[in-house]
């Protein structure tokens, strides 16, 4: 980054990364990065130990069953695909929310298009004054069918700072014998998560966003109640004489070499988040949100979408300026933001953004109020 760059695209990936993350990734590559579970030599074992430590830290942070139920994937999208395509069977019915990212919507759409499943969309009630967990669960209840097998929804929107009441939805699903999965792409490291207490059967999360690891690793956390068919098969150092994949997680779902440096970095990222604490992180993000919202609300041509929800993500549009052009103009002034549709046609339709989408700014632990002031000055320059 140049000295004049302000990074406000943390919902896409957090930047920069904590020094401890960079140090661990560097140490891993330089000192101990053998192939975990392949050889019987010290470097392979050192890698395997570090990966196990990351599984343990992730399970603790997410309130999961056990470290062996933490499966490492390439990213959140792969985790969700692994879940959906390993779980769903012909004739199943699935419910998703109207805020879903394409990481959920597209695999669901494909499975439905191929005639494997059917699905319906339930209202998140984002932006509605009478929104409540009871009403949201009632919306789910109205759409349940005898063959409804799974409810999967985002926890926090990737467009604004609205979050779904996943604890209440999880309890509702389990009362009705339905599995419940959560896309925690925008909430892991921001909002409290506890799989057991929230009745979450499966949870997908990125390593490189709110958990401050580097790109290249995502998480699928499973409860004991969710055995999946494999989607990817191949070598993993176990039972090499057999055609079948091993029965037990995590290796059952982890074919091919794991990204040990990314996972080692993720361990330090999770430790960073745990040390700071979610309340402190949330308070910091809300402070930045309020400062940005105050400025944007003072601009006559600016619309802030879902402004009532404070958090790590803020969405706005400007009359007469297409979102991608506005994002590019901010980029020329050193402000890193994202325009367009943010891979969520469902979410943009729900928020009723302009036809060309909107601009998203998103905050992280390294942002300061002066970053918001730089952003405000740059936008004022564009609007002048």
Residues that bind other proteins (CB under 8 A): 36-37, 40-42, 45, 48-49, 52, 55, 66-68, 237-242, 246-248, 250-251
What minimum distance in Å lies between the beta carbon of 184 and other proteins? Answer: 22
Nearer to other proteins, 49 or 319 (CB): 49
Distance (Å, whole) CA 257 – CA 247: 18
Residue 83: closest CA among 172, 203, 187: 203
Residue 189 half-sphere exposure, CB side, CA atoms within 13 Å? Answer: 32
Is the peptide bond prior to 250 cis by the omega test (within 30 degrees of 0)? Answer: yes
Is residue 51 classed as helix, strand or coil in its secondary structure? helix
Nearer to other proteins, 136 or 267 (CB): 267
- The total of other beta-carbon atoms located within 10 Å of residue 167's CB is 16
What minimum distance in Å lies between the beta carbon of 218 and other proteins? Answer: 18
What minimum distance in Å lies between the beta carbon of 243 and other proteins? Answer: 11
DSSP string, 280-309: HHHHHHHHHHHHHHHHHHT-TTEEEESTTS
What minimum distance in Å lies between the beta carbon of 55 and other proteins? Answer: 7
Nearer to other proteins, 266 or 379 (CB): 266
**Sequence-ordered list of residues with C-beta below 8 angstroms from that of 296, at least 6 positions apart, any chain:** 302, 304, 314, 316, 379
What minimum distance in Å lies between the beta carbon of 252 and other proteins? Answer: 9
Nearer to other proteins, 248 or 301 (CB): 248
Nearer to other proteins, 32 or 309 (CB): 32
What minimum distance in Å lies between the beta carbon of 60 and other proteins? Answer: 14
Nearer to other proteins, 235 or 277 (CB): 235
User: How is residue 375 written in tokens?
Assistant: 């952003």
Distance (Å, whole) CA 113 – CA 107: 10
């Amino acid at each position: 980054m140049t000295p004049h760059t302000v990074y406000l695209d943390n919902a896409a990936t957090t930047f920069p990364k904590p020094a401890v993350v960079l140090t661990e990734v560097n140490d891993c590559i330089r000192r101990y990065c053998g192939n975990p579970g392949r050889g019987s030599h010290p470097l392979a074992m050192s890698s395997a130990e570090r990966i196990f430590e990351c599984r343990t830290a992730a399970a603790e942070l997410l309130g999961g069953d056990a470290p062996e139920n933490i499966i490492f994937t390439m990213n959140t999208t792969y985790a969700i695909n692994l879940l959906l395509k390993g779980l769903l069977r012909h004739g199943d019915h699935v419910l998703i929310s109207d805020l879903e990212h394409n990481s959920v919507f597209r695999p669901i759409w494909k499975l439905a298009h191929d005639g494997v499943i059917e699905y319906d969309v339930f209202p998140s009630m984002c932006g509605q004054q009478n929104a409540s967990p009871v009403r949201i669960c009632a919306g789910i209840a109205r759409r349940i069918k005898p063959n409804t097998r799974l409810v999967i929804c985002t926890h926090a929107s990737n467009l604004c700072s609205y979050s779904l009441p996943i604890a209440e939805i999880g309890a509702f699903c389990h009362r009705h014998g339905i599995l419940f999965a959560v896309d925690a792409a925008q909430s892991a490291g921001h909002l409290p998560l506890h799989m057991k207490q929230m009745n979450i059967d499966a949870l997908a999360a990125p390593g490189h966003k709110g958990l401050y690891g580097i790109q290249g690793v995502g998480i699928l956390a499973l409860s004991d109640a969710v055995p999946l068919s494999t989607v990817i098969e191949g070598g993993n150092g176990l039972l090499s004489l057999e055609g079948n994949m091993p029965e037990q997680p995590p290796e059952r779902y982890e074919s091919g070499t794991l990204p040990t440096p990314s996972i080692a970095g993720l361990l330090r990222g999770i430790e960073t988040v745990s040390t700071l604490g979610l309340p402190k992180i949330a308070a910091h993000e809300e402070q930045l949100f309020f400062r940005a919202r105050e400025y944007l609300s003072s601009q006559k041509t600016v619309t802030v979408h879902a402004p009532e929800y404070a958090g790590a993500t803020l969405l706005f549009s400007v009359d007469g300026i297409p979102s991608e052009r506005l994002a590019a103009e901010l980029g020329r002034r050193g402000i890193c933001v994202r325009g367009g549709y943010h891979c969520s046609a469902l979410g943009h339709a729900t928020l009723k953004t302009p036809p060309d989408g909107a601009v998203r700014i998103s905050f992280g632990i390294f942002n300061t109020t002066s970053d918001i002031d730089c952003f405000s000055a740059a936008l004022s320059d564009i609007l002048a």
